[in-house]
Amino acid sequence: MPRVTMGLTDADIENANHIFASTPSARTRAQAVSFALALTRFIVDQRRDGANLLLERNGQTQRVIMPELERLTPPDEAKLRQVSQAG
């Protein structure tokens, strides 16, 4: 399994801690980050395929609009090869 080292901002650390505390199955922060990445990939794939992201609260459904998700494009095959070769 490839190891990843990266610098984290205070916001990244806060997000990782929040996900860790909110994910009962995660025993480590690395597992929480892995869960977050899997969830992100699912959302990205769904949006790229044309699905809307909806939230329901108190019986009302609202469409979630995130500029980052609105600008999605199909995966860059060259980048995918580069990532798979690095691992």
How far apart are the two ends of the chain, measured CA to CA in Å? 8
pLDDT tens-place string over residues 20-42 = 898 888 888 888 888 888 988 89
Q: Output the six-digit token pair for 80.
A: 């995918």
Which among 86, 85, 87, 43 is positioned nearest to 65, based on CA atoms? 43
pLDDT digits (tens, 9 = 90+) for 74-85: 677 777 677 667
- In the three-class reduction of DSSP (H, G, I as helix; E, B as strand; rest coil), residue 75 is classed as coil
Flag whether pLDDT at 68 surpasses 60.
Answer: yes
Is the entire prediction scored with pTM above 0.85? no
State how far the Cα of 44 lies from the Cα of 10, in Å rounded to an integer. 24
Q: Which token pair is 67?
A: 């500029």
User: What is residue 56's predicted lDDT score, i.e. its pLDDT?
Assistant: 96
